[in-house]
Homo-oligomer: A and B are copies of this chain.
Amino acid sequence: MSVRQSLLAILAQGPCYGYQLRHEFDRRTGSVWPLNVGQIYNTLERLERDALVSRGTADERGHVYWEITDAGSLEVERWLATAVERGQATRDELAIKVAVAATLPGADVAAVVDAQRDASSRHRDVLRRLRESGEDESPEGLARSLVLDGMLFSADAELRWLDHVQQRLTDHPQHTLALELNPDRPKRGRPAKSIDAALV
């Protein structure tokens, strides 16, 4: 939903045409994430379908300006007022992968973690270089560094977690984690009233 919402938010600032939206998105997010132009038009059509924007007529230069509707403005307000919900549904590809690999008797978790550590470390280096190159006091530069800082914080956390996993793997070798298939066949029918939902 990020692309959709960002484009809508940018349109809240004033009418834009498709190609312009890409520039605005790039400027504001530090040109870190490439955004295919086709997706812009795609997204605009879907926003129009949902009555959040309306397509204006092309001007003399052929630019098709899109305008946000009242419903669209409300949606932007709602978006800005609502926090990004993490955790309930947000699946983390890496966490899943490591967990599955760790519980798979046939897999070598340590190797997986090692390989990932290398990749993540290289990735962090790239981010650091990107962050330091083009130090800039312009709004664009500040926005860019903000985004890159976020990615750096994530990369650091990822590496710390990988080290942590490695440590725990030496404490608990893989065979203590490995899970056989189908340990107990589930019995059909009504269960013995699960005592879940304690938290939350």
Contact = CB atoms under 8 A, between A and B. Distances in A.
B6 A96 contact: yes
Q: DSSP majority for the A interface?
A: helix
Given A154-B92, A161-B150, A176 B87 contact: no
Given A80-B108, A154-B154, 13 more contacts: A3-B91, A6-B96, A9-B107, A10-B104, A13-B104, A28-B100, A28-B103, A30-B99, A80-B112, A81-B111, A84-B119, A92-B151, A139-B176
Contact of A126 (B87, B100, B172, B176): B87
A35 B122 CA distance: 32
A174 to B, nearest CB: 10
A179 interface: yes
Given A80-B112, A84-B94, A120-B83, A181 B13 contact: yes
